Amino acid sequence: MKYVAPTMNEAMKKVRNELGENAVILNSKVMDSGGVFGLFKKRMVEVIAAIDPGIENEKAEMKRLRSQPDASKSVSFKQDEHRKQQLKSENSVQQELKELKKMIASFTSSSQFERYDSSIREILLHLQIQGINESLLLQAGDHLQGYFKSSGQKGTEILLIEAKRFLKDAVSEVNMSGMSYKKKYINVIGPTGVGKTTTLAKMAAEAVIEKRMKIGFITTDTYRIAAIEQLKTYAGLLNVPVEVVYKLEDYKKAIHKFRDFDHVFIDTAGRNFREKKFVDDLHKVIDFERDMETFLVLSLTGKEDDMKEIITQFSAIEINAFIFTKLDETSTYGSMVNILKETKTGIAYITTGQDVPEDITEVDADYISELLLKGFSHERSGV
């Protein structure tokens, strides 16, 4: 089937949405469409994709296995299950290799990448799969091609080292550090389901356990009883007080109660912040002007466009840095880099699980560049 989109990323999304993860790319090309009298043409990407027939063979084999007689059932069942897993594993590996090779071929046929050496195209493909936007991909390609020509270094591993250096430089312009501890009030905001409360507890644990500070909790998340109880559980473990606030007057009373504390950590409700109303509601409960450091929490499992929309909605609030959660639940990290470069906003932490206080870490440019190219050698070898 044929799919046309403005970029390769969007074309691949269409393929996955309609044909699923078992689709393979048969051909792709860049073409011009529209325009008047040869002017104002728009560049588009055309992708031809199909379902791998090998998957259908696997389904047929599974059906045959299920139809076998029940004689020697216990032994046969184990053998069948083993065979099913073996078939699934073999077909999965073959499918991944096939799709990867087809995508590499699609890069070769694309006019915007054909000027690069094949080793560079491999690296660009990996970064494209990571979700790096096209502008940065082309910058990376031009940089690596220039390095390739000037240095005479042709090995992929050498180019990989230079690619890491390029990515490190690309994100080094944004600030990367945790809490500054210069503000008394530490506030985390963000949409529902990103792990704000757990993240706040991890940050608070650092202040209590490592810094030996006197802290308190405020929660404005009165929409979910479970959220209040969760924060109270963390507060109990850290032996710190919690104040639940419903309106700005309650908030003022709470901060007065904590006037002699070193820091106050504020948990906010997770709402659909694509609706401006919920952002406005925050201002009705929290005084953002008072000695505050605010972190916007975003999940790496979310869609980049949704994250950007949330950032736009929060533009009326000064965001000091992002916190990206759920690193352990995804294998693609390009959206984080795209957002950091586009917004020029810093990054405070990345979280890697639910354990408090362990699964949180500060990052630097080296960490992010390593993360983006993680597993590249395994993809090339098919491991």
Q: Is 106 a residue whose pLDDT tops 80?
A: no
pLDDT at residue 52 above 60? Answer: no
Residue 4: is its pLDDT beyond 70?
yes
The reported pLDDT for the residue numbered 120 is 87
| Position 256 pLDDT exceeds 90 | yes
| Per-residue model confidence (pLDDT) at position 75 | 42
Instruction: Please state, rounded to an integer, the average pLDDT across all residues of the chain.
Output: 78
Which range has the worst mean pLDDT, 99-108, 195-204, 348-357? 99-108
What percent of the chain has pLDDT above 70? 68
- The whole-number pLDDT of residue 73 equals 42
pTM of the full predicted structure?
0.69
pLDDT at 77: 43
Which of these ranges, 144-153, 238-247, 268-277, has the smallest mean pLDDT? 268-277
In tens, the pLDDT along 53-90 reads 544 544 454 455 445 554 444 444 444 555 556 555 65
Alpha carbons 371 and 376: distance in angstroms, whole number? 10
Specify the pLDDT at position 269: 77
How many degrees, rounded to 5, is the angle at CA 58 between CA 56 and CA 62? 115
Work out whether strand 346-351 and strand 360-361 pair parallel, antiparallel, or are unpaired.
antiparallel
pLDDT recorded at residue 55: 46
**Is 203:179 a contact under the CB 8 Å cutoff?**
yes
Binned at pLDDT 50, 70 and 90, residue 15 comes out as: low
Spatial separation of the C-alpha atoms in residues 126 and 383, rounded to whole Å: 15
How do residues 186-225 score in pLDDT, each as one tens digit? Answer: 999 988 888 889 999 999 999 999 999 999 999 887 666 6
CA distance 196 to 326: 11
Bridge partner residues of 242 (DSSP): 217
**pLDDT confidence of residue 314:** 85
Contacts of 52 (CB under 8 A, 6+ apart): 22, 23, 24, 95, 98
Amino acid 93: pLDDT = 58
- Rounded distance, CA 140 to CA 146, Å? 10
Q: Encode pLDDT of 317-352 as tens digits.
A: 889 999 999 999 988 999 999 999 999 999 999 999
Q: What is the mean pLDDT of residues 16-28?
A: 62
pLDDT, mean of residues 153-164:
83
Q: Is residue 268 very low, low, confident or very high in pLDDT (cuts 50, 70, 90)?
A: confident
